């Protein structure tokens, strides 16, 4: 029984690390966005390029360590490295989950200032509020499987215990093959991981887990089902003690009786409502007109998407000029960006793109296509395909 449990733990931990690493290497940009989100939460100013480098490094390390653990190769080193890694991630997911018990007004300067201006002294702890968690999901398995901070934390706790078990009993695990073969297999796993990240960065994810994958009808994914839960709010009443001057918050069912004076009433979100897979899909033109319906209803629409124009220049958009001739074939072609007006004007002055320019949410545009710039083809609201700027289609390939 003990030997079976040891082998089961070895296979489970190694499999999860390899699977997690490969899923994120399939979409390294997506994982780098999640890392940047974590960095911003903790107030760290980290560049996008550094986030991408760190993200790829972590994923390659996950795959390599998972393979070495499965092979039983250099187990003492690998289990110690996995232990250090899991301690870090358990602390990270733990902080993320437990942040739901912390009052944002205690650590956010603007909220604290507003509370103090109203005569309140924000407390540190509060009843658990899902909406106050620092991030909505951990990003452990990319977009393939989104885990809540709570689930992710307890998953990490279980993995941490399993790794401690493997570290204690690592001498009882027999290698699957010779050290020489293990080195070759480990080396090939590392090379494959790096090549996979390089390929997906240049040519987009091989497997698309996002709601904008080819074949999805976006209007259907933007609908909110009947009876779906909505945002839930709690009424909070603020009272001041007439004797001590203390200002305190009370819920509806625990209002004070005598000796307190009413000060204010406010709403506190306690639960996030249903969010459709595709939300914030809004495109506006330079005049402020909403063009979303047009994009989703036209027979053939090409969207040249740039989530960050500050990193681009006119030459990055020159390959897209060739699609202008498709307009005579019934295609609508737009440039959709979240760039600042100054960046848009700079690119427009450097190019001769005869297309309308639209603006949208940056996070949305980064989610639609993992290329800056990139191309998305919609046919009556259905995603036909995405292309990176490094591998654009020929015009004849786009004509239905």
User: Over the stretch 185-228, which tens digit does the pLDDT of each residue have?
Assistant: 999 999 999 999 999 999 999 999 999 999 999 999 998 888 77
pLDDT digits (tens, 9 = 90+) for 146-194: 888 888 899 999 999 999 999 999 888 889 899 999 999 999 999 999 9
Contact 135, 41 (CB under 8 A): yes
400: pLDDT strictly greater than 90: no
**In the beta sheet, which residues pair with residue 269?**
233
Smallest Cα–Cα separation from 52: which of 188, 197, 202, 193? 197
Residue-wise pLDDT for 288-313, tens only, equals 899 999 999 999 999 999 998 888 88
Distance from first CA to last CA of the chain, Å, rounded? 61
Determine which helix (DSSP H) or strand (DSSP E) holds 151, and give its type and residue range.
helix 149-168
Q: Is it the case that residue 130 has pLDDT exceeding 60?
A: yes
Q: Are residues 132 and 100 in contact, defined by beta-carbon separation less than 8 angstroms?
A: yes
Mean pLDDT, rounded, of the chain: 87
Tell me what pLDDT residue 226 has. 81
pLDDT at 111: 58
Would you say 365 and 343 are in contact if contact means Cβ atoms under 8 Å apart? no
For residue 103, pLDDT beyond 80: no
The pLDDT, as a whole number, for residue 106 is: 63
- What is the token pair recorded at 290? 């909403």
**pLDDT grade, residue 351 (50/70/90)?**
confident
Q: What local confidence, expressed as pLDDT, does residue 131 receive?
A: 67
The pLDDT assigned to 65 comes to 95
Rg over CA atoms, the chain:
26
Cβ neighbours of 174 (radius 10 Å): 8
* Angle separating helix axes 48-71 and 2-25, nearest 10 degrees: 150
Q: Does residue 1 register a pLDDT over 60?
A: no
pLDDT of amino acid 46: 81
Cβ–Cβ < 8 Å for 72, 11: no
pLDDT at 113: 62
> Which single residue is written with the structure tokens 């319906």?
293
What pLDDT was estimated at residue 115?
A: 60
Dist. CA 168–CA 164, nearest whole Å: 6
Each domain of the chain, given as residue ranges in start order, spans: 2-203, 232-271, 292-398
**Is the pLDDT confidence value at 117 over 60?**
no
* Of the listed ranges 119-123, 154-158, 229-233, 234-238, the one predicted with least confidence: 119-123
- The mean pLDDT value for 121-148 works out to 75
In this prediction, residue 38 carries a pLDDT of 83
Higher pLDDT, 64 or 38: 64
Report the topology of domain 292-398: Glutaredoxin (3.40.30)
- Residue 107's pLDDT is what? 63
- Calculated CA dihedral for residues 64, 151, 154, 173, nearest 10 degrees: -30
Answer yes or no: are the C-beta atoms of 142 and 27 closer than 8 Å: yes
Mean pLDDT to the nearest integer, 90-94 = 88
């Amino acid at each position: 029984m003990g030997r079976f449990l040891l082998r089961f733990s070895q296979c489970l931990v190694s499999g999860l690390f390899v699977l997690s690493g490969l899923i994120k290497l399939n979409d390294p940009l997506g994982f780098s966005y999640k890392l940047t989100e974590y960095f911003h939460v903790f107030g760290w100013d980290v560049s996008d390029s550094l986030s991408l480098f760190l993200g790829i490094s972590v994923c390659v390390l996950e795959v390599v360590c998972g393979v070495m653990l499965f092979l039983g190769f250099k187990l003492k080193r690998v289990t110690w490295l996995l232990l250090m890694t899991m301690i870090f991630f358990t602390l990270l997911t733990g902080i993320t989950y437990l942040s739901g018990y912390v009052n944002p007004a205690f650590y956010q300067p603007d909220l604290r200032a507003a509370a103090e201006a109203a005569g309140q002294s924000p407390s540190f702890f509060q009843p658990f509020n899902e909406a106050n968690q620092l991030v909505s999901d951990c990003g452990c398995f990319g977009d393939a499987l989104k885990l809540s901070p709570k689930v992710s934390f307890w998953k990490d706790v279980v993995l941490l215990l399993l790794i401690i078990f493997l570290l204690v009993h690592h001498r009882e695990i027999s290698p699957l093959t010779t050290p020489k073969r293990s080195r070759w297999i480990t080396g090939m796993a590392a090379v494959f991981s790096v090549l996979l990240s390089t390929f997906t960065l240049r040519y987009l994810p091989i497997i698309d887990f996002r709601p904008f994958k080819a074949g999805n009808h976006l209007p259907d994914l933007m609908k909110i089902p009947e009876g779906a839960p909505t945002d839930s709010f709690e009424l909070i009443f603020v009272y001041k003690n007439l004797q001590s001057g203390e200002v305190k918050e009370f819920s509806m069912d625990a209002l004070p009786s005598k000796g307190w004076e009413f000060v204010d009433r406010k709403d506190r979100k306690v639960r996030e409502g249903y969010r459709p897979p595709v939300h914030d899909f809004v495109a506006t033109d330079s005049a402020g007109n909403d063009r979303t319906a047009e994009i989703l209803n036209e027979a053939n629409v090409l969207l040249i998407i740039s989530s960050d124009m500050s990193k681009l220049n006119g030459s990055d958009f020159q390959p897209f000029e060739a699609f202008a001739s498709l307009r005579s074939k019934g295609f609508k072609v737009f440039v959709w960006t979240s760039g600042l007006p100054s960046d848009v004007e700079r690119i427009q002055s450097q190019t001769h793109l005869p297309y309308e320019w639209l603006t949208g949410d940056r996070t949305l545009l980064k989610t639609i296509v993992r290329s800056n710039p990139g191309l998305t083809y919609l046919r009556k609201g259905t995603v036909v395909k995405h292309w990176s700027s490094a591998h654009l289609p020929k015009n004849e390939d786009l004509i239905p």
